[in-house]
Structure 1
Amino acid sequence: MREDIEFRTEDGVTLRGWHYAPDGATGPTPLVVMAHGFSAVKEHLLDDFAGFFCDGGLGVLVYDNRNLGASDGTPRGEIDPWQQVRDYRTAITWAQTQPWADPERIGIWGSSYSGAHVLVVAALDRRVKAVVSQVPLVSGLANARRLIRSDLFAATRQLFDADRAARYAGAAPQMMQVAWEKDPAEPAALPTQDTHDFFFGPIQDRAPNWRNEVTLRSVEMFVEYEPGAYIADIAPTPLLMVVACQDHLTVADLSLEYFEKARQPKELVALPCGHFEAYVGEAFAESAPRQLAWFRKYL
């Protein structure tokens, strides 16, 4: 069963999403808390993962990040990774007050940008009893240097500086496309072909409230974000990391490098696919059961 839910953060922003309850549940159940990655909303296939986990006996809380989708918050399109980390922890706090959640058996799930966040949350918050991090960002700066041509990196920093000066003078934050829409030469925060294909492909109609824009400041915060620095501190909380071996968005070799720094208990799922293929098809069929088994084992 799925129901609409909403809860308020400590600073008064309402976040909205869904709660999934397993069939036949009559009391508190283990719960997985989930949110999506950079600019994405819950309708971008999170319902497939949540439904699968729910069918496997877990409760699931899925919500849109602030400033995106169904959730409140301004400026719209602002993606602050540390605020999203705090909101994950608020979601856990709220869930622990609900009659359908077992407060001692809460896990967290994230993918791509939120795959980074759950690494940080699991290291900082011992209420988390298991974590699954799918195709995660592990180093903002190292990853940005893969996505932005070296001869354009200095110019990108100049854009950040100009936007900061303009905001200080009272201007609205500058906006930027998430994905190029018509021409690969268009400036975009995530300038890869598969990003375009994901957001403008067959699932586009599933997420009509998604907007192809973020603040330029969001991209600057992406470059500054180093979630992998926390990975060794997740233990003894169990970590399952899902890596797409052909991933060139959150590049696979960086994820594998940082996975080696994590301590036990940990497990790696290596999928022979690209970043967005991890959400669908054969990759989903391979990894989702292993993710469910991980949560069931530790929750």
Structure 2
Amino acid sequence: MARRDVEFTGEDVTLRGWFYPAQGAGATAPVIVMAHGFSAVKEMYLDKYGEAFSAAGLNVLVFDNRNFGASDGEPRQEIDPIQQVRDYRHAITYAQSLPEVDRTKVGVWGSSYSGGHVLVVGAIDKRVGAVVSQVPLVSGYENIRSLVRSDFIGGFREMFDADREARGRGEAPAMVPVVDKDPLAPSALPTPDSYQWFTETHEKRAPSWRNEVTLRTVEMLSEYEPGAWISRIAPTPLLLLVARNDVLTPTELAIGAYENAREPKKLVILPGGHFDAYVDGFDQSSGPATDWFVQHLGA
């Protein structure tokens, strides 16, 4: 059975995505709930993960984050990480209502920014029976300190305050590029591999992606600490997939967070950098994730 388009309520907005039925399932089967990372839309390789999990006998619900892609929400291109965590929980509620789904067997998958979200969801939502976090952001504060020169950070704060005052006057939100060809130019993700992956993937498979986010998105990123929740995930099983040469969500930050997680947990080191998991290293990232879900949810 082919995937189908779905929509569901995030209470105040409609969220849209795809549902992949579990292949070979005679009755109900577990479900994996997944959304993409910072500014990305579902067409940016989440279909490949959905197909892989579906082929292993798992139902999959993939959705676009609010304010992005096919989902509703205003202001467009604004990422509130706490709201995105809530939307994962709305997606779980919707997934549990589907006739194909065994509502007692729910897994969550996230990557990069949403790799941080699933750490929070796994800690606070005990409907979740297994967590896979791929190349996660674990600390917004530490991440920005590692990417932005310290003498630039004060300038960002002044921009945040000016934007807050402008919004208070009813003006449109200030915007910033997600990526820029020049890693020293202002952008939310100032690494060369970010620029290459987003621009190439936009051209090849995701025309709806836009190279901008609100400036407040960057401020909220700097405040977000999903790694603080990692010790509370247990006894829900956690798989952490970390790229060996990750310069966007630095390898050592993710491994440091893993040390704070409790059993049952597993760490897999992926080859390459942050974005290799989606393309050249897809088998290496999707294989352990599939195995983890099948092991802990059944299929």
Secondary structure of the structure 1 residue equivalent to 2:260: coil
Query: Residue in 2 aligned with 1:231?
Result: 230
Where in structure 2 are the equivalents of 1:1-299 lying within 5 Å? 1-11=2-12, 13-180=13-180, 182-201=181-200, 204-281=203-280, 283-299=281-297
> Does the aligned pair in 2 maintain the 1:30–1:105 contact within 8 Å?
yes
Q: Could you tell me the percent identity over the aligned residues?
A: 59
What is the one-letter code of the residue matched to 1:231? I
Distance 2:201 2:127 in 1: 38
Distance 1:198 1:130 in 2: 29
Distance 1:184 1:88 in 2: 32
Q: CA deviation at 1:26?
A: 4.2
Q: Which ranges of structure 2 fall in alignment gaps of 5 or more residues?
A: none
Give me the TM-score of the superposition, normalised by structure 1: 0.97
Secondary structure of the structure 2 residue equivalent to 1:296: helix
Secondary structure of the structure 1 residue equivalent to 2:116: helix
Give me the TM-score of the superposition, normalised by structure 2: 0.97
> Does the aligned pair in 1 maintain the 2:143–2:250 contact within 8 Å?
yes
Q: CA deviation at 1:287?
A: 2.6
What is the one-letter code of the residue matched to 1:167? R
Distance 1:206 1:121 in 2: 29
Secondary structure of the structure 2 residue equivalent to 1:201: helix
Distance 2:50 2:95 in 1: 16
Q: CA deviation at 1:21?
A: 0.8
Distance 2:202 2:251 in 1: 24
Distance 2:183 2:258 in 1: 32
What is the one-letter code of the residue matched to 1:246? N
What is the one-letter code of the residue matched to 1:201? E
Distance 2:246 2:16 in 1: 30
Tell me the number of residue pairs that the alignment of Structure 1 and Structure 2 aligns: 296
The one-character-per-residue Cα deviations of 1:125-178 (angstroms, maximum 9, x if unpaired) are 000000000000000000001111111011111111111111112211111110
> Does the aligned pair in 2 maintain the 1:27–1:99 contact within 8 Å?
no
Q: CA deviation at 1:200?
A: 1.0
Distance 1:272 1:101 in 2: 34
> Does the aligned pair in 1 maintain the 2:23–2:56 contact within 8 Å?
no
Q: Which ranges of structure 1 fall in alignment gaps of 5 or more residues?
A: none
Secondary structure of the structure 1 residue equivalent to 2:273: coil
> Does the aligned pair in 2 maintain the 1:139–1:228 contact within 8 Å?
yes
Secondary structure of the structure 1 residue equivalent to 2:171: coil
The one-character-per-residue Cα deviations of 1:47-85 (angstroms, maximum 9, x if unpaired) are 111111111111100000000001011100010000000
The one-character-per-residue Cα deviations of 1:3-59 (angstroms, maximum 9, x if unpaired) are 111101122x11110000123334321000000000000000111111111111111
Distance 1:115 1:60 in 2: 17
Distance 1:257 1:239 in 2: 15
Aligned-pair Cα RMSD in Å = 1.1
Q: CA deviation at 1:186?
A: 2.9
Distance 2:212 2:42 in 1: 17
Distance 1:287 1:162 in 2: 41
